[in-house]
Structure formats: structure tokens, C-alpha cells
């Protein structure tokens, strides 16, 4: 394999410690970055609106917190960790006017730079540090002494050390323990969106839902259908995570493996792959980004409608009942639990 994975022993973590860093946002990624940076000895301030519910919460976690304006003014490095659809407006109104000359702007996802939603000043260096997982896992793995792989990309290097600074940041949030991979804003953005839409979120949930409905419509118990189409997904994915398809197939029965090879291609067909290519083309052309940002500016009516519809599906209801009977799962309820899971 020609791709080089970079680890802590090749990174100067002291570089980021010599800078004043401000993290803008305190959501899933924001709280994890902030706490990991803080625990690594970085001079970090969380930038939030004064009225934000997270303002006092971040303070109680032992972090320095200030307004967006003040946090930005003092920072050598600003990391933007806001939802894609909100980031450009916040940047233009509250961040851009207050950035230091020759400061560095970091992102954890390339969306707003790649699709031209944010165009920083000419004197600003731009890089990305993208952990490959959700924020609460970034925090958990850091606390456990391991870490989460990260992608690093440099869009503009005016200081001559932007890549080294990005690597240092990645190390401070735990990325260097697991490995850091070089990429580009284009590659990260397009592959990330494709993975979410076709496999990890869109593809997987549609596969599970349709499998569940097929069994229930054929007269099988919803509980059995849930176990066979959703609950066991994690068990199979864990095996693939540990050793790829080969290890998973080694671990299942011969009957299951035969069914895998002989029936799987009837579900994911050549027509399915053609549709995958269409989705990728929509991402590459910017059509998806344009559609999503237009929706977001209208208040995300489609997203709200689909969330409401999905929440009422039998799969969700039976799943909640079954998970409540499994205390070992530490089951989550969207109406009660929030993203912050620091313990």
C-alpha cells in the first residue's frame, strides 16, 4: 500500500500548543474537539453566542468560553464546527470580520469550502482535520487512551506550516494515536457525502426498513423481524470492522455464507450500482449541495417531514420496546438523550 499513514511519533504536537485556538460550536464534534484539545494542554477557547444553551454547560466542563467575536479576535487558529447549513452565515456575520491577520481557519468537513459557500480572506490559511466518526466516539476513544483516525487536507498554505499545524491539531484530539491520512477537500467532501447517502445512512436504513417490512407483511412477528434485520447488523458489521468481508464470512455459518454469495447480488443489482453512480454525479456536480442548502434556507421542510414519518414507523416503535428490555445496551431515546456523552 503506497498511502502513508501518519502517527504521533511523526507529529510535533507542541506546535498546536504554541497557538491560541478557538473552537466555534459545541455540538457533537465541538464538545469532543474542545475537551480533547484542553486535556492535551492546548490553549483553547470555545466560541458561542451568549444566549446559547451550551455556554454555561461548556464552562461547567472546565473550558474557557467566550462570545463568537471575542473568541475569534484572540485566536491564531479558528476551528469551525457548526452544521453545514448554518456555517456560512455564522462565518460571514460573526467570524470573518474578527479574524486576525494571517490567521488559520480549520474545518472538520470540506463541504463549505469545496462548494464555495465560504470564501475566506486572501490572507487566511485553510486546512481540514476530519475525524472519521461521531463526536461522542472521538471523545470516548481519547479518554480510553486510543483514538480515532483522521483525514487532513490543506487548501491554502500561506504560513508555510499549515499542514504541520493541522497534523499537530489532529494529534491533540487523538487522531495521531489511530493514524492520520492525507486527502483533499474535494476527495473528503465527495466521498463522505457518497458514503452517507449510498451506504452508511441512506442505503443501510432503506435496506433494513424494506427487509423488516417484507418479513412483517409475510406474517412474521415484528420482534423476530427486528432482530433479523436490525439488531444483528451490528454483530455482522463488527466482524467486518475487525477483519473485512473475509473474517465475517469465516465467522458465520456455511449456510449464511452461501446465502450471502448466491442472493446478495439479487438485492444490490447492476441497476442499484447505476443509481449509485447517479448519486455520485449529483454530489460531484454540486447539485446535491445546491438542493440541500436551498432546503435548509427554507427551514428544511422535507427533512422535518421525513423525520416525523420515520419516527412513527413500526420498526422504531418495536425497536424501542425491545431495547428497553436490554439493559446491557445502554439504549438511547431521542426524546431524552442528547449528544453530550462525556462519561
Residues forming the active site: 109
Q: Give the residue from 219, 229, 199 showing the smallest Cα distance to 322.
A: 229
Exposed, middle or buried: residue 209 (CB in 10 Å: 0-12, 13-18, 19+)?
A: middle
Give dist(CA 50, CA 201) in Å, integer: 34
Q: Which residues contact 329 (CB under 8 A, 6 or more apart)?
A: 323
In whole angstroms, give the CA distance from residue 188 to residue 132: 10
Contact at 8 Å (CB) between 197 and 203? Answer: yes
Q: Using DSSP, how many helices (H) and how many strands (E) does the chain show?
A: 18, 9
How many whole angstroms separate alpha carbon 231 and alpha carbon 244? 20
Cell of 296: 435548509
Residue among 173, 91, 94 at smallest CA distance from 126:
91
Query: Distances from the Cα of 131 to the Cαs of 77, 150, 213, 254, in angstroms?
Result: 18, 4, 35, 37
| Count of other CB atoms within 10 angstroms of residue 58 | 23
Q: Which contiguous run of DSSP H or E holds residue 151?
A: strand 150-156
Beta strands 150-156 and 180-182, pairing class: parallel
State the alpha helices, DSSP H only, in 62-161.
68-73, 84-90, 111-114, 135-143
Amino acid at each position: 500500500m503506497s498511502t502513508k499513514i501518519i502517527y504521533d511519533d511523526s507529529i510535533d504536537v507542541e506546535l498546536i500548543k504554541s497557538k491560541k485556538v478557538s473552537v466555534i460550536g459545541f455540538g457533537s464534534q465541538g464538545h469532543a474537539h474542545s475537551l480533547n484539545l484542553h486535556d492535551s494542554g492546548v490553549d483553547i477557547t470555545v466560541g458561542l453566542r451568549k444566549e446559547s444553551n451550551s455556554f454555561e454547560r461548556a464552562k461547567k466542563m472546565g473550558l474557557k468560553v467566550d462570545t463568537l467575536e471575542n473568541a475569534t479576535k484572540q485566536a491564531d487558529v479558528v476551528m469551525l464546527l457548526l452544521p453545514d447549513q448554518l456555517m456560512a452565515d455564522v462565518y460571514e456575520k460573526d467570524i470573518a470580520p474578527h479574524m486576525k491577520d494571517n490567521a488559520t481557519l480549520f474545518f472538520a468537513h470540506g463541504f463549505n469550502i469545496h462548494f464555495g459557500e465560504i470564501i475566506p480572506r486572501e490572507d487566511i490559511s485553510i486546512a481540514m482535520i476530519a475525524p472519521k466518526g461521531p463526536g461522542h466516539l472521538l471523545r470516548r476513544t481519547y479518554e480510553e487512551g486510543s483514538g480515532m483516525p483522521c483525514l487532513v487536507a490543506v487548501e491554502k498554505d500561506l504560513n508555510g506550516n499549515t499542514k504541520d499545524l493541522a497534523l499537530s491539531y489532529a494529534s491533540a484530539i487523538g487522531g495521531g494515536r489511530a493514524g492520520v491520512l492525507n486527502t483533499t477537500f474535494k476527495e473528503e467532501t465527495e466521498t463522505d457525502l457518497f458514503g452517507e447517502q449510498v451506504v452508511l445512512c441512506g442505503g443501510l436504513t432503506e435496506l433494513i426498513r424494506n427487509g423488516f417490512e417484507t418479513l412483517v407483511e409475510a406474517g412474521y412477528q415484528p420482534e423476530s423481524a427486528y432482530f433479523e434485520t436490525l439488531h444483528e447488523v451490528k454483530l455482522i458489521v463488527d466482524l467486518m470492522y475487525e477483519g473485512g468481508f473475509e473474517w465475517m464470512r469465516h465467522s458465520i455459518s456455511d449456510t449464511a455464507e452461501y446465502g450471502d454469495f448466491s442472493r446478495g447480488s439479487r438485492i444490490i443489482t447492476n441497476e442499484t450500482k447505476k443509481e449509485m453512480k447517479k448519486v455520485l454525479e449529483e454530489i460531484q456536480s454540486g447539485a446535491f449541495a445546491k438542493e440541500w442548502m436551498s432546503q435548509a434556507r427554507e427551514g428544511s421542510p422535507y427533512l422535518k417531514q421525513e423525520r416525523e414519518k420515520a419516527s412513527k414507523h413500526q420498526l422504531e416503535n418495536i425497536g424501542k420496546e425491545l431495547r428497553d428490555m436490554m439493559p446491557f445496551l445502554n439504549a438511547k431515546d431521542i426524546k431524552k438523550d442528547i449528544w453530550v456523552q462525556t462519561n
